[in-house]
Chains A and B, each alone.
Chain A
Amino acid sequence: MSAPKPKISKEAVPMPKQTPEERRYNFKEVAIGYNQENALLEAQRCLQCREAPCIKGCPVGVHIPVFIKSVKESKFEEAAKQIKEQNSLPAVCGRVCPQEEQCQSKCTLGKIGEPVSIGRLERYVADWEREHGFVIPEKRPPTGKKVAVIGAGPAGLTVASDLIKLGHEVTVFEALHKPGGVLTYGIPEFRLPKKIVEAEAEYIQKLGVTLKTDALIGRLYTIEELLQQFNAVFIGTGAGLPTFLGIPGENLCRIYSANEFLIRVNLMRSYDFPRAATPICVGQKVAVIGGGNVAMDAARCAVRLGVKEVKIVYRRSREQMPARAEEIENAEEEGIEFEFLTSPIRLIGDERRNVKAIECIRMQLAEPDKKGRRAAIPVEGSNFLMDVDTVIMAIGRTPNPIIKQTTEGLVTAEWGGIVVDENGKTSIEGVYAGGDIVTGEATVISAMGAGRRAAKAIHELLSKK
């Protein structure tokens, strides 16, 4: 007779977090992470469904029930190996993936209660592996083929890791002084500690990938020149250019693009100024314009820099905010205020050209259009002034034009993105692209998914030659 099955808890093991009072004053990670006991308990909840709907929700197809089974059996090294067959950046994905929209949204347990916390378990396994020393997987024998990867962000690192394991020689060119792309310059320390990104990049170098920082492709070498030295090229340069509203006063001082603000804080560690030499200039009243994850990141950085009053100004209402629910909650807990249905129309400066106020207008939502999207319409006569001393524009990013400008024959869309087929192949033979440079601003994991597909296509191409 088999032992009675333990009753499965409808509730997930909660993520231990720093309290809002604590975390307002530091840049340490907000979510502390499961301990072993938490992880084992949570892994118990997985039903090990045969059809594994969760896998279909994962853009890179991690064999989720397989690794969770290993966790359940305390075989963490095994679990790490299983995740890494599909995902080369698990410590990152476990932290920043929107699991609630992906794997966890498909979890069978979700029908009766909370889904299994796949992301938290992935993070636990990846952190366990990092702390116990990475195991370097076996590589296939060298093929003698060389691949150049442009951009050491999520897409590029995935391509590099997939192709090096298949025996190709891979060189990654990164324009900034550190690898990681948006993981390094964009996502703040308190959501994704930089030591984790560094460790992931180190791991990929241990696999044998050559990383060249300070190498801006388009200026230092053109794609054409790379094709003379490499058998294939992958472009993963992301959506790096900031967008502004195009309203009067946007060039006043103390108006930042979210990109600039986050680059200063994350990549240059301005929070440690003057020890770290890059300054940042915030007053006591900061307004962040926009409603996405980047807006939340910028606002939460401002709180940690000691700003008393941080407001998020968004033109639609809370329901339409593109940011993850979890991030909106975190922001609220940290005392950030929200001005919904509000849109800036003009920025006003003082005699030194520092911004001192935003003229805003209230908005209302129209009836849903055919796509169900509700347009925001200004309410006439509702103008008002909002006192501020710093403004951060977090209204989206567009592709970097340098490669487009310097690569003849590379077909791009009107908005600047590179046009590719379903395998990531561009209009130039041997040149592939993926991630935000193709799709526009999207998630880390979707860029990694695109990287995987391109790596597969590049491998097929190189195997033919």
Chain B
Amino acid sequence: MFKIETKRSLAPGINLFSLSAKELAAKTKPGQFVILRIDEDGERIPLTIADVDLEKGTVSVACHEVGKTSKQLGRLNEGDSILNLLGPLGKPAEIKNYGTVLCVGGGVMAAPLHFQARAFREAGNNVIGVVGATTKNHLIFLDEMEKTCNELYVATDDGTEGHRGIDFLKDLFIERKVDRVITEGPVVMMKAVSDLTRQQGIPTIVNLLPIMVDGMGMCGACRVTVGKNMLFGCVDGPEFDGHQVDFDELLARLKTYTPQEKIAYVFWEEGEKHQ
């Protein structure tokens, strides 16, 4: 069992949990993820690690409530426990001094992106941050990114805060020399960022979280096409060259269980009502 030490609401339906897992925290590097399972009937879901606290022995993960498992997690509180927590999984991010690094985080993934941004800053980079969300009140981790990055841009899909969409990056790339781009967020956003940087020839790393079951190379559900290769998100990734990833395939594969996810949610919600 792994205890929830703290729970912090970041936005409607988005929470940051810190979980007690001393050994895991000690081994975690930015870019890696965990797989958790809430209870005996639960599914295994991957979540990118958003931070660690070595003194308290905790790892934190941000979770956006979209389906059954994420909503169930969202209803847990400080002091509650989850049954299983496995990690750290995947290869750590390559943190070096590249010069100027642009970190683009979308939605809930702005939290784990901050973990990387801080490491890039500590490695001596000039870090430009971009935090994006669908709309203003879904923006998260603005204060943290503000503190960590040398400069910060904000973007929303609907333009309710900051730039509308990420097209402004085009101008940024003209004005500024960017040596490396790191992006974590919805697949459509990572695809759009990669398309922009491809034109500029800027190396771009995407952090992918495809559907997976075990998270250690066994199931192959997380396979992605990168260039001409079939690679596994869990053991070959989660970071890949954004210019080589077949995002359309990834998007289709992420939708494999959409109808089942709805069924699972309705079934669980009904069960909760009768408790």
The residues of A with any CB-CB pair to B shorter than 8 Å are 175-177, 185, 213-214, 216, 219-221, 240-242, 244, 246, 250-251, 253-254, 256-257, 259-260, 263-264, 268-269, 273-281, 352-353, 400-402
Contact = CB atoms under 8 A, between A and B. Distances in A.
Contacts of A176: 214
B268 interface: yes
Contact of A277 (B68, B84, B89, B230): B68
Given A216-B89, A277-B68, A279-B260, A353 B216 contact: no
A27 to B, nearest CB: 16
A278 B217 contact: no
Contact of A279 (B89, B225, B235, B264): B264
B260 A219 contact: no
B259 to A, nearest CB: 8
Nearest to B219: A260
Given A242-B220, A251-B230, A278-B213, A177 B83 contact: yes
B159 interface: no
Interface string B132-176: 000000000000000000000000000000000000000000000
Interface residues of B, number: 43
B275 to A, nearest CB: 15
Contacts of B41: 269, 275-277
A244 B213 contact: no
B218 A263 contact: yes
A109 to B, nearest CB: 41
B27 interface: yes
B44 interface: yes
A281 B256 contact: yes
A454 to B, nearest CB: 23
B52 to A, nearest CB: 14
A446 to B, nearest CB: 20
A241 B87 contact: no
A268 B43 contact: yes
A241 B218 contact: yes
A271 to B, nearest CB: 13
A353 B218 contact: no
A276 B42 CA distance: 6
A235 to B, nearest CB: 15
B112 to A, nearest CB: 17
B114 interface: no
Contacts of A280: 260
Contacts, number: 122
A277 B42 contact: yes
A216 B216 contact: yes
3 A-B pairs with least C-beta separation: A279-B260, A260-B219, A353-B252
A259 B220 contact: yes
A175 B88 CA distance: 11
A353 B256 CA distance: 9
B85 interface: yes
A254 B256 contact: yes
B118 interface: no
B213 A253 contact: no
Contacts of A216: 86-87, 89, 216
A276 B268 CA distance: 10
Given A214-B86, A216-B86, A400 B23 contact: no
Contact of A219 (B43, B89, B230, B255): B89
B249 interface: yes
Contacts of B235: 401-402
B64 interface: no
A213 B84 contact: yes
A263 B214 contact: yes
Given A242-B220, A259-B220, A277-B41, 16 more contacts: A220-B24, A220-B87, A241-B217, A242-B219, A253-B253, A253-B256, A257-B220, A259-B218, A260-B213, A268-B44, A274-B263, A277-B43, A277-B268, A278-B43, A278-B44, A402-B216
A315 B256 CA distance: 29
Contacts of B87: 216, 219-220
A277 B42 CA distance: 5
B84 A177 contact: yes
B43 to A, nearest CB: 4
Given A176-B214, A185-B218, A251 B43 contact: no
A268 B88 CA distance: 21
Contacts of A251: 223-225, 230, 246, 249, 253
B191 interface: no
A253 B260 CA distance: 14
Contact of A220 (B23, B43, B246): B23
Interface centre among B220, B260, B261 (most CB of A within 10 A): B220
B7 interface: no
12 contacts: A177-B44, A185-B214, A185-B218, A219-B27, A240-B216, A241-B218, A244-B220, A263-B218, A275-B267, A277-B42, A279-B260, A353-B252
Contact of B217 (A240, A281, A352): A240
Contacts of A214: 84-86
B47 interface: no
A257 B267 CA distance: 28
A195 B117 CA distance: 47
Contacts of B84: 177, 213-214
Interface string B200-227: 0000000000000110111111011100
Contacts of A221: 23, 27
B213 A263 contact: yes
A331 to B, nearest CB: 23
Contact of B37 (A177, A253, A400, A402): A177
A175 B24 CA distance: 13
Contact of B260 (A250, A254, A259, A281): A281
Contacts of B263: 273-274, 279
B63 to A, nearest CB: 15
B217 A400 contact: yes
Contacts of A273: 260, 263-264
B48 interface: no
B69 interface: yes
Contacts of B256: 253-254, 281
A279 B213 CA distance: 11
B252 A401 contact: no
A85 B252 CA distance: 53
Contacts of B68: 277
B221 to A, nearest CB: 5
